Structure 1
Amino acid sequence: MSDTTRSPGGGESERTSGPPGPSAALPALDPDQLRVLGSLGQEWGRVSGDPGVWRRALPVDPDLGSFPARHELRPAPIVRLVSVTGLGGTQHEAEAAEEADVPPTRMGRAGYRLRRVLLGAPLKNTALIHERMRKLVALPVLSADILSSVAYAPEAMLAVLILGGAAGLAFTVPIAAAIVFMMVAVAVSYRQTIRAYPHGGGSYIVASENLGRRPGLVAAAGLMTDYILTVAVSVAAGVAAITSAIPALAPATVPMGVAVIAILLAGNLRGIRQAGVLFAAPTYAFIAAMFALIIVGLIQGPGGSAHPPPPSPHAQAAQGVGVLLVMRAFASGSTAMTGMEAISNAVPAFKSPEWRNARTTLTWMVGILVALFAGLIALIQLTGVVPGAAHASGSGHETVLSQLARLTFGTGWMYVFTQAATAAVLLLAANTAYNDFPRVLSLMARDNHAPRVFLRLGDRLAFSNGIILLSVVAAVIFAAFGGVTTSLIPLYAVGVFLAFTLSQSGMVVHWWRLRGAHWRKSLAFNAVGASLSAIVLLTAGIAKFTEGAWVAVFIVGLQVVLALRVRRHYDSVGAALRLHPHAMELPRRTICSPSTRDALARIEEDNHRTVEENEEMPSEIHHLSVVPIETVDLASMRALAYAASLQQPVLALHLSPSEEEAERFRGYWTQWGDHLPLEVVVSPYRAMVAPLVNYIEALHRQRRDLTITVIIPEVIARHWWHNLLHDRLAARLRRALHHLPKIVITTVPFHV
């Protein structure tokens, strides 16, 4: 067999970390399909002739080198991007491609230039390096979400209790103590998750593996709802910190918040991930400011603050203190736990030993969280501040955290530092969702529960479609609720604790099935975590349903329904594409007849001619058909049959993200009979389209007199909205290759 598999640098390849690419899960063929594939290969053998003739007829050398091994790449000091030399030994012709991509109309050119200014030039030949984080870097990067929640969770709890007047506020300490206990219990249960899933165990993965498909989808829906609301709530709290320091900006709360989301959108679409040490600064600044506030405030006491504390509030009870009020306050305060699973998701990002460093970092994170939450509650009790107090300037309302900072530090530089650090860490927490939301969506797309467009990396190496979806939904929710944090909190708790409950319940099933060493203790820890999370989930769902929690329930339910519908469509398409004996696609005539062999022999002789000729006659055009094959199915077989029936040289091309899957595809090709030349390229760095374009460009440079026809199998759905679920590869290749002469893109439709 003469095909060549390009392993990175000739060494042992490794599976990429992070979200999988479009070919990261090559569908496995069952024994029945393998038998059909072998039978189909025998039929091909009767009409295709000697495979060696097809190989000798190739007018180019398909061996274009290999991409460098991952261990040979070193990231720059600031960014995790490395320029990789393309196949064929040359870089992409980026400047020519850029000029060719400019639209011809004036409005098109203006829009194109604006896009390039905002997002930067496409990164067509760049690899992402997944750096390993030390604990001191991982702590602020992965805990920004959960630690920043102390800026709004205590206030959200007090905003409910104050409805019961002084009697309601008397429950502040007992409820806070219950929340602290739950923090510790859930953290201990997540330590067990890290031990059981050392390669990353998010709610979607844990629930799907142990509870089944539908619970996994519910967990994913809850998680994505959590990320959407993380953006909305964090931006709302960040804007509140700014308006508390500058009350004159209060009327512009909604425009400011939408503008911040737009900035986050543009920044994440640029796709360049800065090193973790840069993200660490705002989180450490916030931690330092909070500890300074708590320590100084407690030392000063009520009589030693920079400004005298307000008199004890004579809160008027708006409703009686009952179980429902206490439950609502408990659910609101429990939002301080959002982001608890971030470390268990990112275990592979730690330095070795990964799982041990992740567990240690989780312990540090929870210890800091408990100290900050309990300290702020103690300081609130000491000073008597309440939510919703009017600002001293008389313009707008001041957050509880701003009141505490002003009472403790006055209005000097420490107050400004505290508010600035709070705003910065809240916006950083919102940015964390931009990393996790597209990742969960890509995992669902890999499992056919979301449109496959969410697997696609944009030209700036970011999951652009997921980022855009997150920004649009978060901005709509933020604007609909007026950017008020306390109005958004009821939505928050449902998604957070739904994911927690299903994840920890899945771990209970995991330990019950495994029954390894200390399984009873591990099961008990996860059972406690699942029970407490379920209590908060039910509390939030019942007590806050009419206050907005129904929106989160509706969003979760809608996501699950859509995911099941998407999966049903992909299953029906998969059944239609499945290899079976009665759907074999073969040309009606002999592919490689004696006259065709003579023609291919003449093509082989012409391969040595380097002088370009005029192409005004059909006989003067030299052809090469390239057929990208992603999977072995009926659509691919039809495209191969069409290409071979043209009786011109054919090269099949398969791109794989790992050596393992490349070997599996080669095995399928051998089972089929190896009737046509095949080139397998391993490209473990990013989406599959860029290496495909790079490969075709390299072939074009090798023989500029060739007309290269790229023949793509394309699934055509019955309804137009189903077409949105399929990758429009032909259109993307046309846009990427139209600057090159003598490249033809054609599709072979397969209607389902």
Structure 2
Amino acid sequence: MPLGDILLGRRLGNSEDKEQKIGPTTGFPLLGIDALSSTAYGTEAALFVLMWVGMVGFSVLMPITWVIIAVMTIVMLSYLQTVVAYPNGGGSYTVATENLGRKPGLIAGSALLLDYILVVAIGSSAGVGALVSAFPHLQPYLVPMSLVLVLMMTIINLRGVKESGAAFAIPVYGYIVILLGIIALGIFKTVQAGGNPVPLVAPEQIHQTTQTIGWLLLLKAFSNGCAALTGIEAVANGVPLFRDPASKNAQRVLIMVVGVMALIFAGLAFLANAYKTPAMSAEEGNYRTVLSQIVAAVVGNGPAYYIFLFFLLALMALSANTAYAGFPRMCRLLARDDYLPHAFAARGRRLVFHYGIWVLTAFACLLIIAFGGLLERLLPLYAVGVFVAFTLSQFGMVKHWKRHPEELAQKRFPWLPKTINFIGGVVTGVATIVILYTKFQQGAWLALIMMPGFVVLFLAIKRHYIEVNRMTSAHHSIDTENLEPPLIIVPVQRWSSMTEHAIQFSVTLSPDVEAIHIADGEDDESIMYLHRDWNQFVVEPLEAIGKKAPELIVVPSPYRHIIRLILDYVRAKRKTHPGRRIMVVVPELVEAKWYQYLLHNQRAQALKAALLLQGQQDIMVLNVPWYMHPERRAKEAGPEDSRRDRLTGL
């Protein structure tokens, strides 16, 4: 079985596309894993800021959590409208483009692409961070382990949507069931202890500080905690992945995802406050995440702790799957609109957009290496892109309802959808400003550079495609005046089966064929052998049947230039034959094994590239391959031909 089939599975046909559609049971882990995984570090991200004021920070953790859950609910209600209005997917990009214009749509698209890249980098780093919490001696290997997780995710997603969704079902459902059970047990213990439970494993010490809580600190904690909202957009982008009724199934998954997120986020904030579990830096010794401290405090360091840690590691390691589902489809939409190379719209062997998957992998690996795989360094970049996309999507939906009042007329409460989307746009817009203000110096400035950079790139690609279309469009009949056969030039090194194949084909195309040989340091005897072979094997046989024989032109090359002299010869012929097409027929050896290419100089490839770079419409390049099959054997040569046969090919 080929290695590609072993790693990626058998190639799927276009007719099997419907079999790759998913339902809510598979869609929940496939598209919700990123949003659900953010609950593992959302509380920690907020606490990381609140620890600046020590124990006092826990007193405001729950209010901040409720504000974030309220924003989460508003975003969910807004996207419930979007998946119905835009059942073909696209999310913020499609909504903003159709209702706000091209540039707002491109900003939304670039924001989503940036967010997806960060999802992979942060998810992998967080997964490794969970592992390091249990095994601190692995801390020096943060970056290599994160890269391995990214490559593993790449291979899984190249196997196809349906298989990747099924692969993530066990980690997602296992994480949810166990964590909700631990949260319920922790709340029960807290209530039984009158609000002051005794931890089975003591959390880390909280550093004392004299700082006080201010509005800036609260805003920073809120913006950090907003990392828990990432991933919700993926459901709106992935509506085409669902089986019919696609919009209804997407709505069910969206409600399930946000509902579970809210329960976990609120529960963890409550327990973090009850057990006083501080946030630590991954660069500190004995690093432990807030979540691992909470679980250890509730159930101890026994089997239950390690079972949960296994599911947490699996969830975090695979949380990037949402990005692997969304990034390639976002690239496909941009490629469809000529803002990315059209290759991004092509599906691979498993009906996935494999070019987008590989590009996402490359960008995520670069970020992990650049930031050392440290979660606290990557988080400031997070949420900027997704909230920009949220805001543009919601205001785009407000415009959508204005443009399509007939859709509102069918609703039970016609005023409600527009109101929900307007409130969503205002709330997420304010959140975007807060996130940019509080995280600018920590790294949000990089997002402000990357997003416009993406937009500039998109517009440049669009201009190129417009120019190509303008230059290649034809609205006239074919030119019937210039139908003369081309003047054919065949570069040859010696008389061989490759040369015979190329000459034989050339004389069927045109009566005017010339063979050019570049003598790069050969002696007179070698040139004599070549002329003798040419007369014996080419000129005499063709003249015998009344065909015009190609002339052999020998050009000396005292400085061993070959390709340059062939180009000079072609340009000279173009000047002496104005208005006539010139075709260069390049004989090329095609090896049977890939590694045999290393044994040849590949001069034919270089010659073709040089000819194409001339940029002349009347100079054409034709490749004539000669395949190196094992069963082929060269004809036995006489003793006087041994010198000739040692000459290398083109």
Q: If the length of structure 2 is used for normalisation, what is the TM-score?
A: 0.70
Taking only aligned residues, the RMSD between alpha carbons, in angstroms, comes to: 3.6
2:445 equivalent in structure 1: 550
Counterpart-to-counterpart distance in 1, 2:266 and 2:505:
82
Counterpart-to-counterpart distance in 1, 2:68 and 2:350:
42
Relative to structure 1, the CA distance from residue 411 to residue 440 in structure 2 (aligned partners, 3 Å threshold; closer, same or farther) is same
For the pair 1:588 / 2:481, whether they are aligned, the reply is yes
Counterpart-to-counterpart distance in 2, 1:323 and 1:717:
63
What's the CA shift for 1:323? 2.1
Written as runs of structure 1 = structure 2, the 5 A alignment for 1:339-354 is: 339-354=231-246
What's the CA shift for 1:266? 3.6
2:466 equivalent in structure 1: 571
What's the CA shift for 1:590? 7.7
Counterpart-to-counterpart distance in 2, 1:213 and 1:390:
41
What's the CA shift for 1:243? 0.7
Counterpart-to-counterpart distance in 2, 1:615 and 1:315:
84
Question: Would the aligned equivalents of 1:158 and 1:387 in 2 still touch at CA under 8 Å?
Answer: yes
Counterpart-to-counterpart distance in 1, 2:11 and 2:289:
43
Written as runs of structure 1 = structure 2, the 5 A alignment for 1:305-324 is: 307=200, 309-310=202-203, 313=206, 315-317=208-210, 320-324=212-216
Counterpart-to-counterpart distance in 1, 2:282 and 2:479:
79
2:428 equivalent in structure 1: 533
AA aligned opposite 1:525: I
2:361 equivalent in structure 1: 471
Residue 218 of structure 2, aligned match among 319, 323, 326: 326
Residue 183 of structure 1, aligned match among 52, 60, 72: 72
2:419 equivalent in structure 1: 524
Counterpart-to-counterpart distance in 2, 1:311 and 1:122:
50
1:454 equivalent in structure 2: 344
Question: Would the aligned equivalents of 1:231 and 1:430 in 2 still touch at CA under 8 Å?
Answer: yes
Question: Would the aligned equivalents of 2:58 and 2:276 in 1 still touch at CA under 8 Å?
Answer: no
Counterpart-to-counterpart distance in 1, 2:83 and 2:4:
41
For the pair 1:222 / 2:111, whether they are aligned, the reply is yes
Between structure 1 and structure 2, the one with the greater Rg is: 2
Relative to structure 1, the CA distance from residue 619 to residue 330 in structure 2 (aligned partners, 3 Å threshold; closer, same or farther) is closer
Relative to structure 1, the CA distance from residue 355 to residue 492 in structure 2 (aligned partners, 3 Å threshold; closer, same or farther) is same
What are the Cα deviations for residues 488-542 of structure 1, in whole angstroms up to 9, with x where unaligned? 1110110110111111111011012212324421111001111111111111111
Counterpart-to-counterpart distance in 2, 1:147 and 1:413:
23
Q: If the length of structure 1 is used for normalisation, what is the TM-score?
A: 0.61
Residue 136 of structure 1, aligned match among 25, 32, 36: 25
Counterpart-to-counterpart distance in 2, 1:488 and 1:574:
41
For the pair 1:369 / 2:257, whether they are aligned, the reply is no
Counterpart-to-counterpart distance in 1, 2:502 and 2:282:
80
AA aligned opposite 1:565: A
What are the Cα deviations for residues 143-171 of structure 1, in whole angstroms up to 9, with x where unaligned? 11111100011100100111233344432
Relative to structure 1, the CA distance from residue 577 to residue 467 in structure 2 (aligned partners, 3 Å threshold; closer, same or farther) is same
Counterpart-to-counterpart distance in 2, 1:519 and 1:262:
48
AA aligned opposite 2:399: V
2:40 equivalent in structure 1: 151
Aligned-pair identity in percent equals 37
Residue 272 of structure 2, aligned match among 380, 385, 402: 380
Relative to structure 1, the CA distance from residue 617 to residue 362 in structure 2 (aligned partners, 3 Å threshold; closer, same or farther) is closer
What are the Cα deviations for residues 580-631 of structure 1, in whole angstroms up to 9, with x where unaligned? 45xx54132689xxxxxxxxxxxxxxxxxxxxxx999779989xxxxxxxxx
Counterpart-to-counterpart distance in 2, 1:547 and 1:126:
46
Task: Specify which structure has the bigger relative contact order, considering alpha-carbon pairs within 8 angstroms and separated by 6 or more residues.
Answer: 1
1:204 equivalent in structure 2: 93
Counterpart-to-counterpart distance in 1, 2:507 and 2:478:
31
Relative to structure 1, the CA distance from residue 615 to residue 244 in structure 2 (aligned partners, 3 Å threshold; closer, same or farther) is closer
What's the CA shift for 1:465? 2.4
User: SS state of the match for residue 152, structure 1?
Assistant: helix
Residue 292 of structure 1, aligned match among 167, 170, 181: 181
Written as runs of structure 1 = structure 2, the 5 A alignment for 1:382-397 is: 382-388=274-280, 395-397=285-287
Question: Would the aligned equivalents of 1:310 and 1:384 in 2 still touch at CA under 8 Å?
Answer: yes
Residue 382 of structure 2, aligned match among 481, 492, 500: 492
What are the Cα deviations for residues 551-587 of structure 1, in whole angstroms up to 9, with x where unaligned? 1111111101100111111111111122345xx5413
What's the CA shift for 1:428? 2.0
User: SS state of the match for residue 449, structure 1?
Assistant: coil
Counterpart-to-counterpart distance in 2, 1:590 and 1:569:
31
2:558 equivalent in structure 1: none
Relative to structure 1, the CA distance from residue 427 to residue 173 in structure 2 (aligned partners, 3 Å threshold; closer, same or farther) is same
1:27 equivalent in structure 2: none
AA aligned opposite 1:307: L
AA aligned opposite 2:74: A
Question: Would the aligned equivalents of 1:194 and 1:201 in 2 still touch at CA under 8 Å?
Answer: no
Matched length:
501
User: SS state of the match for residue 171, structure 1?
Assistant: helix
For the pair 1:265 / 2:160, whether they are aligned, the reply is no
2:140 equivalent in structure 1: 251
Counterpart-to-counterpart distance in 2, 1:480 and 1:573:
37
What's the CA shift for 1:365? 1.9
Written as runs of structure 1 = structure 2, the 5 A alignment for 1:504-523 is: 504-515=394-405, 516-517=408-409, 518-523=413-418
Counterpart-to-counterpart distance in 2, 1:717 and 1:160:
59
Counterpart-to-counterpart distance in 1, 2:130 and 2:480:
70
Counterpart-to-counterpart distance in 2, 1:563 and 1:381:
46
Written as runs of structure 1 = structure 2, the 5 A alignment for 1:21-170 is: 116=4, 119=7, 123=11, 128-130=16-18, 131-170=20-59
What's the CA shift for 1:406? 1.0
Counterpart-to-counterpart distance in 1, 2:206 and 2:68:
24
Question: Would the aligned equivalents of 2:147 and 2:365 in 1 still touch at CA under 8 Å?
Answer: yes
2:328 equivalent in structure 1: 438
Which one has a larger percent helix, Structure 1 or Structure 2? 2
What are the Cα deviations for residues 198-217 of structure 1, in whole angstroms up to 9, with x where unaligned? 33251111111111111110
Counterpart-to-counterpart distance in 1, 2:464 and 2:85:
34
Unaligned runs of 5+ in 2: 485-500, 510-608, 616-621, 632-650
Residue 357 of structure 1, aligned match among 249, 274, 279: 249
What's the CA shift for 1:359? 1.9
Relative to structure 1, the CA distance from residue 149 to residue 738 in structure 2 (aligned partners, 3 Å threshold; closer, same or farther) is farther
1:231 equivalent in structure 2: 120
Question: Would the aligned equivalents of 2:82 and 2:236 in 1 still touch at CA under 8 Å?
Answer: yes
